[in-house]
């Protein structure tokens, strides 16, 4: 019971088999009130694999597919995900100075794809995203990235607060890109290990992540629009880091 459009998979047994085969699950939706022996097998597997999922009304599932979904629909990711705890040591061991991007609830797939493209060509070592609340990495995202999403390392983490704490404890300075500061981005040293948080298109970076950061940086702006497109802002910050690191060689 599956259809290939946008890597959509539905039906309890097909989803169970996909998880057992090690497929990367991008999003998993389960109908409210679902029961039965087969569903309990799926739920046990979800717990075992520590997968994120959402309980949703049947109407949402019906909008995703008109076929017999049995109360379970998921999207299979087009890319492989990593853990930053596995990736960061390899960056240091390679003698590199880590340059990382943390994306807080970037939901627009084209923005995400554009950010991935810039991250790859600017030499960023990894993009870190939350397991819930971010853009689906689908064909549109990959097309916008011009294939960069198949090349750049994407780390998907269950708890960005823990990730920020881990990075700081590992010697990586974490900076939040927000207009709520007087510290301008070009006055900051990017030649040291750095992770940059970029916030959502709607309301920026979550306050809890700003508080956890080592500092905040802003891009100067004129006029009355108040903010830049997040993919443009990411490009500006990344290429300041590139410039500083080239000049520091």
Question: Tens of pLDDT along 168-214?
Answer: 999 999 999 999 899 999 999 999 999 999 998 888 999 999 999 99
What value does the mean pLDDT take over residues 133-158?
89
pLDDT for the residue 1: 36
Mean pLDDT estimate for the chain? 92
pLDDT attached to residue 125: 98
pLDDT of residue 163: 98
180 touches 219 (CB < 8 A): no
User: pLDDT-based confidence at 22, cuts 50/70/90?
Assistant: confident
Average the pLDDT over 31-57 and give the result.
92
Q: What topology is assigned to 5-76 in CATH?
A: 60s Ribosomal Protein L30; Chain: A; (3.30.1330)
pLDDT tens-digit profile of 226-248?
778 999 999 999 999 999 999 98
22-43: average pLDDT: 90
Does the pLDDT value for residue 45 go beyond 70? yes
Which one is predicted more confidently, 86 or 137?
Answer: 86
**pLDDT in the model for residue 99:** 98
Domain boundaries, the chain: 5-76, 84-247
**pLDDT above 60 for 4:** no
pLDDT at residue 78 in the model = 81
Q: Which residue has the higher pLDDT, 110 or 52?
A: 110
Residues 83-108: what's their mean pLDDT? 97
**Residue 99 DSSP SS3:** strand
CATH of domain 84-247: 3.40.1280.10
- State how far the Cα of 241 lies from the Cα of 237, in Å rounded to an integer: 7
Question: CA-based diameter of the chain, in Å?
Answer: 63
pLDDT beyond 70 at 77: yes
Catalogue the E-assigned strands of 97-243: 99-103, 126-130, 154-157, 173-177, 194-198, 215-217
Over residues 39-58, the mean pLDDT reads: 92
Query: What pairs with residue 56 in β-bridges?
Result: 31
Same CATH topology for 5-76 and 84-247: the answer is no
Q: Where are the beta strands (DSSP E) in the chain?
A: 8-10, 25-31, 54-56, 72-76, 99-103, 126-130, 154-157, 173-177, 194-198, 215-217
């Amino acid at each position: 019971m599956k259809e290939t459009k946008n890597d959509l998979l539905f039906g309890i047994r097909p989803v169970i088999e996909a998880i057992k085969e090690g497929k990367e699950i991008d999003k998993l939706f389960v109908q409210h009130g679902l029961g039965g022996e087969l569903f309990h097998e799926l739920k046990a597997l979800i717990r075992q694999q520590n997968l994120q999922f959402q309980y949703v009304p049947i109407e949402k599932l019906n909008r995703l597919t008109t076929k017999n979904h049995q109360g379970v629909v998921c999207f299979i990711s087009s890319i492989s995900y990593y853990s930053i705890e596995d990736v960061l040591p390899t960056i240091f061991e390679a003698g590199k100075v880590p340059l990382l991007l943390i994306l807080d609830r970037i939901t627009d797939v084209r923005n995400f794809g554009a950010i991935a493209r810039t991250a790859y060509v600017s030499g960023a070592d990894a993009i870190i995203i939350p397991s819930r609340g971010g853009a689906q990495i689908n064909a549109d995202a990959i097309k916008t990235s011009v294939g960069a999403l198949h090349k750049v390392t994407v780390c998907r983490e269950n708890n960005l607060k823990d990730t920020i704490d881990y990075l700081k404890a590992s010697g990586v300075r974490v900076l939040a890109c927000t207009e709520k500061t007087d510290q301008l981005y070009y006055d900051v040293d990017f030649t040291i290990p750095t992770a940059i948080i970029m916030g959502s298109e709607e309301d920026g970076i979550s306050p809890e992540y700003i508080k956890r950061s080592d500092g905040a940086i802003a891009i100067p702006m004129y006029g009355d629009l108040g903010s830049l497109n997040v993919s443009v802002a990411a490009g500006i910050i990344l290429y300041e880091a590139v410039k500083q690191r080239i000049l520091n060689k």
